[in-house]
Each structure stands twice: as structure tokens, then as C-alpha cells.
Structure 1
Amino acid sequence: MSSSFKDAMDGTAWEDYCEKILRIHYGVRSFTSVPHADRGDHGLEFFANDGTLFQCYFPDPSCSMEDYKLRVKKKINDDLNKLIKNESGISLLLDGLVITQWLLLIPSVRSKDLISYCNAKTKSFLKKAPSFINKNNFKVRIESDDAYPLEKHKARILIESTIDFPVREITQEEKDQWKSINTNFHDNLIRKCGKIAPSPDAMVDSLIGDYLVLEDLIVAYREEFPELHKEISEMVAANLSILKTNAFFSKEDPAELVMDLLKKNRANVSSLRQKISMQNSEKFSIGFVSKWIAECKMDFILS
């Protein structure tokens, strides 16, 4: 694996990359990803039906060898202690699965001392190991993505490929149906677009189409790429919050405010680690603006 590919990562990107590798390796029936909100508390990120607990760690690539070894050893020690401390919660997650190895995945194993340290930790950990550990067959191990040569290349292709869900053409019949069902939202669009655009009727019609396309994309991304969907939603929501706060201190033309928000959405969506197509990116950017205008979240621009 090219070092530049991994050097450009941070801890979150490394974790996402490792998850892709392991999902490819094990398949959906034999692999479980612990939700992000709980990972740090329990000291594990993933587990597999072959009895492996996984943790990921991305040490600072620029640190010295001595500092590197200290950091990795601390990570191993701290997370093994979390297994003991959180025995009951982890047992519920594992649901009877017996664990035979705990594996730390790092970008590269830079010292044989870390292998020796894992051997020593295996012996000391087994003296106080929680009930879900196989005390007769258990190892603490450290590996890099090189342990999965085929899977790592497939994972990189997934990361570097561009996601592009087809965007369908919204018919006038669908727009008219939306107007009849969402009369309040439609009234909001008419009222606000009258303040924003020189041709409000055309803008209303366009934004209804963008709203409906966004709903399609949200469903597709939420089902296929839930973490990416969450990342996009949080980014654009933050943009709206920033714009609303700024509006308390300076009065701008409503059209300029909306354009500023659209630019921020475009910039954030285009900066995602996972590439998405230009068409999907644009539809997310304008789609969220249309959703906010329709659903009364941008009244501040008219005040």
C-alpha cells in the first residue's frame, strides 16, 4: 500500500479504511462494527465471528521511534484494561462469542519490540481476563493492513472511487402533487422566494424539484453509506447555524445570504474524504437550501 495514501489519513480515516478491509474479508454475516458513540468506552471497534476483537490506531507519522513505541504500547495497555473494566457491557455485545485474539491494526509495525510487548501482554492479561476470553487459546496481536493484501487494495478502490447515485428528472406531476400535500411548505417557498429572487415563480418550481431530488439522495445515501450521509448532514447543518448566527450581527441582502449558504454547502461537500460525483454534490448543496427554505428554518433571512 502506498505510504502517501496512508500518510494523508488521520485517525478517523484510518478507522474507516480498516472497517472496509474487514467487511470485505469477513462479509456481512461474520463482522460487526460497534457504533461510533460507544467505541471509545468499550475499547473495541469491531469484532468477528472467528473470535477476534479489533482496535485501530493511527500514531502520528512524524513522531520518533521511541515516542511511537510508547504511544502504541499505551494504546494496547489502555484498551485491554477497558475490556476488563467493561466486561458486562462487552459480553452483551458478543452474545456468547468466545474471543481468541485481540488485534490492533496500525498503518505499519515499525518495531519488533511491539510484537514482544504483545506477547508479554497476552500473559499478563490472561491472569485477569474477562469471562468472554478463551483462557486456553488467546493472543494479543498487532498487524498492519498488509495482513490483508487483497482486501486492502479493494478497500482503497472503494475509498478513491466516486459515488454517483443516478438523479432522476422530476416531473411536473410530481411537483404538483408535492404542492398539494405540502401546502405549508409551498407557501413558505412562495413567501421567501418573493424576497430572494427576481423571478420567484421559476425559483419556487426549481426548488421543489431540488427538494424532491434531495429526498431521493437522502434515502440512497442513508441506506448505502450511513456514515457519509451523517457527515454531509452535519456539515450543512453547521453552515446554516453559522449563517444564522452571523445574521444577528450584520444585515445582508436575502439573496446574498442564500448564495453564501449555497457556496458553503458546495465547499464542504466537495471536501469530503469519500468522493461523490459533481452532480450528487450539487444536488445535496442546493437540495438542503431548498429544504430549509420550505421548512421554515430560514425565516431569519427575511427579518
Structure 2
Amino acid sequence: MIQTDYGTFDGTSWERLCQKAFKLKFGSLYQRMPASPGDYGIEGWTIDGMAFQCYCPEKNYTQDELRSAIQSKITRDVSKLKLYQTQIASRIGNTKIQKWLLVTPVFEHNNLHEHARKKEIEAREWELSILHDDFTILIQDAGYYATEFEQCRRSEGLPLQLGPVVTAEDVLPQAPEEFEELIDRKNRVRLRDKAGLTSFETELQKFNTLTATKFLKCDEHLATIERTSPQAFQQIIRVIGHYAEEMQELQVAWVGEPNGLVEEVKTELGRRLEEDLKGTMGFSDARRLADLMVSRWLAVCQLDFTE
């Protein structure tokens, strides 16, 4: 799964969305090439000479890894045009492929254009009956189909996602080495009304242990969700990330008791998780995740209050 400005995708969901977009954009000119018995290097074509192949990375690659993966995809699938020219010809009829387009969520390396030029020259030299004399290889990212993607989302009743991608790394920063000290400092503020009791230090240590345990459980809980339901995980990260930004302003403006702030954050985050993940997460699960997340924020200093 990879995250983009247009959603979270794997190979199957990306191709499914692209197929819908091609049909919207090109109408009856577009014909899908089902994968059975094989796609032969194209997943669809238009009768005026465009052929399409979709590619979605398996994960969030580095720039060089992504360049290498896309380059390999172009090399491998363009060679199928020669290997399966007879099968392709019997399906596209008199159409000659003038533009072969690789449609991928994102690419950031302009060396791919250089590779495309080399491969299209090589393909022209094959002199295949299915290829136009000016055969060209083009690379398109998700932005070329932004309008169609939005139409698809609206037709499916899905919410519009605005703004930059929210990544797990942004939402779940590494805990500092002194996280136990941070928890202790903040919990002393939360329990300050009990500071005069002889049992204060004992109760504080229990409170600290409970907070630290929830903090550690938080990452384990999110890892389980990511493993069992990657799409739900990405939606959860988005909700948490957006609320974390708002929370920074809330804690500066807060004038009540520290525990009041903690409860306000738990309640509001739980409400948003339940609302945004209707049908996936109920009230109890949303409240539990919010409780764990607040303990994490206390440990990594995203949630703080003045003493």
C-alpha cells in the first residue's frame, strides 16, 4: 500500500480506479483489456491509438527505488508488445498504437523520460504492424486524472480528501529517551491537588506506570490495525494527524485544569475517529484508541500543559 494525495492504493485498487477514470475521460473510445488470458502489456486502449498500462508501487519507495521499479515496468511491458503482437492485433483490429502510457500514482525522477525515449526507439525498430510509425512512450501521474478520480469518489459517496498526505511517520514520532521523565513531570501536574497526601508518591508511580503502559500499547494496537486493515489504518492516521495539529492551539489556549484538557482531547479524538470510520470503528473502540493515543502524546510531548 502507498499513500497519495488521491488516496491509499495497492496494485488492484489503483488499476480499478484507473479503469473507471479512463472510461470517464475517453468514453466509448476506450476499450478495457481484461487480464484473462493476459493483458499483453496493455490494460486498455482507445481506438484512436492510445494504450494504457497501470502501475502502483508495493510500498513507499525511496526516489531511486521508485525510479528503478518504474523503469523495469516499462522495459518489461513494452517488450510484451513484440512478444504478443499477434494476440494484440487480433483484439485491437486496425488500431495502431501511437502512444503507450504508463499511469502511476507518482514519479519524481526525470531519468524515466530518458529511459522512455530509448525504449520507444527500440520499439519502432521492431516495425510491428500494431505500432504507429511515431510510437511514443509517456508516463502519467495521478494528476492527469484528478478530475475523473474526484468524479469516482463522489459517485461512490466517499469524502473528499484535501491537503497533503498524512504519513504514519509524521503522526507517530519516535519517543524521546526521557519519555518516563516527561510522563512523571506531566502527571505531577495532573495530580497536584493530591501533592500533600502521604500516599502521593505511591499513587504517582502507579499513574506513571499506567500512562507508560498505555503508551506502549498504543503502537502495538496501531500496528495490529495496519496489519489487518491497511486502509482503515491510513484513515485513522489521517484523523489523528489532523486533530494533533488542532490540539497544539487548544493546549495553548486552555485555561482549565490539566485533567480537563486531557479529557477534552480524549473525547474529541474519540468522537472524530468514530465519525470518520463509521461502519469500521464503534464508540468503544474509538474511545479506547483515543485513550491510548493521549497517553502516547503525553510521553512524546505532543500534549503538554503549563505548570
TM-score w.r.t. length of structure 2: 0.48
Task: Specify which structure has the higher proportion of strand.
Answer: 2
TM-score w.r.t. length of structure 1: 0.49
- The structure with more radius of gyration: 2
